[in-house]
Amino acid sequence: MNKTIAVIRGDGIGPEIVDQALRVLDRVASKYGHSFKYTDVDMGGCAIDKYGDPLPQGELDKCISSDSVLLGAVGGPKWNDVPGNMRPEKGLLRLRAGMGVYSNNRPAKIWKQLADASPLKREIVEKGIDFIIVRELIGGIYFGEHKTENGVATDVLKYSESEIERIGRIGFKTAQKRSKRLCSVEKSNVLDSSRLWKKVMHRLAEEYPDVILTDMLVDNCAMQIVKDPSQFDVIVTENMFGDILSDEASMITGSIGMIPSSSLGASGCGLYEPIHGSAPDIAGRDIANPIGTILSAAMMLRFSFDMSDEADAIEHAVSKFLDAGYRTADIMSDGMTLVGCRQCGDIILENI
């Protein structure tokens, strides 16, 4: 199969981790007889430096016209003082909206080899951590009006029934493919947008009678994720709650560096990225963990290109890396072998 992939290396550790994922993709291509053609796209701080804009239209167009997009991460202290609508992260919001990817899927799964890296007690980890957060990605407070006037700052949180319905359906369909339990997370005791969210979810539930729908307030959910994560299978929630809960969920699985994500919309062209940021504190030192990005590439093969054997091969190669006792600094523990970012890529691609 021939596929085109827009590649956004971005800032900080972005270039280092994306390079490892591309080497892994090249190995998959040669082993399985595919051809992946990469198009470089500038986004984030590097695009501000080059064009004075975090995502010029021409760069966005390259993404929209590709079969899929692989992203490292954007942002960093160098661009902290640029005006709000010119910040690196604005490029990311523009990319998600421009691609129409409204559903962000983040798995929270513990690798058995990393049980000791979880900050949770062993007996909680042993009950199992394996759930998915389906997060609405292009609505809510991140996309509402933002303004500061006369010392008063306002951010608007707005959701329409149709926006809730389309992400709700993804939640139900994801649950149908798993254990048929869906937990809808909101703050309906305080927010109108959450009361509408809850109403729409319950209306949808009538169309998916095989799925058991439960409701949970977001503050309780944050607590339950550390108290007993085994109770969750699929969580569906709005943009900001999903952002916060998925970072929390990633931490209980060991390291933010291990978690991939996919963002999908109506077309097959998806956006695949690790859930962490550009980690400026460790950038350029060859110590970042590239596994979240490598697993994001695996998700791309599975969800956008229908290449499940190839995706399995990457996931298996990561598992073999961990089985052999190799660890990057963020997941290092006693008795394991410390490797850098590039060496991690070397070993994983040898395992394919």
- Catalytic residue list contains 177: no
Applying CB under 6 A, the span of 32-40, 55-63, 158-166, 272-280 interacting with ligand NAD comes to 272-280
Among the options 19, 42, 67, 243, which is catalytic? 243
**Cα 194 to the center of its chain, rounded Å:** 23
- Catalytic residue list contains 142: yes
Q: Between helices 291-303 and 341-350, what is the axis angle to 10°? A: 40
Residues in 50-79 at the binding interface with ligand NAD, rule: CB under 6 A: 73-76
Q: Which residues contact 46 (CB under 8 A, 6 or more apart)?
A: 9, 10, 11
Applying CB under 6 A, the span of 25-33, 117-125, 147-155, 274-282 interacting with ligand NAD comes to 274-282
Residues in 180-239 at the binding interface with ligand NAD, rule: CB under 6 A: none
* C-alpha count within 13 angstroms, C-beta hemisphere, residue 219: 4
Report how far residue 314's alpha carbon sits from residue 154's, in angstroms, rounded to the nearest whole number.
45
The identity of residue 253, as a single letter, is T
Q: How large is the greatest C-alpha to C-alpha distance in the chain, in angstroms?
A: 61
| Residue linked to tokens 């009678």 | 209
Question: Considering only residues 184, 278, 296, 304, which one is a binding residue for ligand NAD as defined by CB under 6 A?
Answer: 278
Among the options 187, 208, 272, 326, which is catalytic? 187
**Smallest distance from ligand NAD to CB 74, Å:** 4
**Smallest distance from ligand NAD to CB 273, Å:** 6
- Site string (16-45) toward ligand NAD, x via CB under 6 A: -x----------------------------
**Smallest distance from ligand NAD to CB 232, Å:** 22
Report how far residue 261's alpha carbon sits from residue 246's, in angstroms, rounded to the nearest whole number.
10
**Smallest distance from ligand NAD to CB 199, Å:** 31
Residues in 116-175 at the binding interface with ligand NAD, rule: CB under 6 A: none
Question: Considering only residues 7, 21, 22, 92, which one is a binding residue for ligand NAD as defined by CB under 6 A?
Answer: 92
Q: What are the start-end ranges of the E strands in the chain?
A: 2-10, 35-40, 68-73, 103-109, 130-136, 146-149, 152-155, 181-186, 212-217, 234-237, 260-264, 270-274, 326-327, 337-338
- CB nearer to ligand NAD: give 89 or 215: 89
Report how far residue 263's alpha carbon sits from residue 197's, in angstroms, rounded to the nearest whole number.
20
Q: Quick check: 256 binds ligand NAD (CB under 6 A)? A: yes
Sheet hosting strand 181-186, strand order edge to edge: 35-40, 2-10, 68-73, 270-274, 260-264, 103-109, 130-136, 234-237, 181-186, 212-217
DSSP assignment, residue 223?
Answer: H
Question: Considering only residues 139, 140, 171, 257, which one is a binding residue for ligand NAD as defined by CB under 6 A?
Answer: 257
- CB nearer to ligand NAD: give 157 or 332: 332
- CB nearer to ligand NAD: give 44 or 265: 44
Which residues are designated catalytic?
A: 142, 187, 219, 243, 247
Q: Which residues would be at the binding site for ligand NAD (CB under 6 A)?
A: 13, 17, 73-76, 89, 92, 256-257, 273, 276-282, 288-289, 292, 330
